[in-house]
Chain A
């Protein structure tokens, strides 16, 4: 018999619901932020180029099953104003202004102050367990 590995639907849903229930802000950054302050702030050390407002509510939908695990999709955000010129390299997802939750890459894109950015929908998936 091969290796037996399994995780319950509840396990996947609760894990991905962390994003669905908490994430409210996305920030476009010039490099990987180490802290939520770096992802969202504009003071020294901050890497934010543009961020959505904190009043937009949830930025992820409900988790759903796939052929390999479960996935959750972000909502597309449009009209996010660029506050600092630079090259966008990643998008940080935050729970309000208090927690840095998740970071994903984006293709390098030059941004100029006062441009507006569209952050298209992207997926976060937890794959079915496999042996290490």
Chain B
């Protein structure tokens, strides 16, 4: 037998936790990463990728 002490969380009603980054910032980071992966002259590839993201 053991005595177990729980770690119980406090609660806040009606509180909305803001996301750490907004969706626009996340998308911008993804585009920058993709641009880094693509050949600078591969415009067709870029257009295809960006049209899918949009």
A contacts, CB < 8 Å to B: 28, 69, 82, 88, 91, 102, 104-107, 109, 111-112, 114-120, 122-127, 129-130
Contacts and interface: CB of A to CB of B under 8 A. Distances in A.
Tell me what chain A mostly uses at the interface: helix, strand, loop, or mixed: strand
Tell me what chain B mostly uses at the interface: helix, strand, loop, or mixed: loop
B1 A105 contact: no
A126 B11 CA distance: 9
Interface of B: 1-16
Given A88-B6, A115-B1, 15 more contacts: A82-B4, A88-B4, A91-B8, A104-B8, A106-B6, A106-B7, A107-B6, A107-B7, A109-B7, A111-B4, A115-B4, A118-B4, A120-B6, A125-B11, A126-B13
A123 B12 CA distance: 8
B29 to A, nearest CB: 28
Contact of A124 (B2, B6, B7, B11): B11
A92 to B, nearest CB: 11
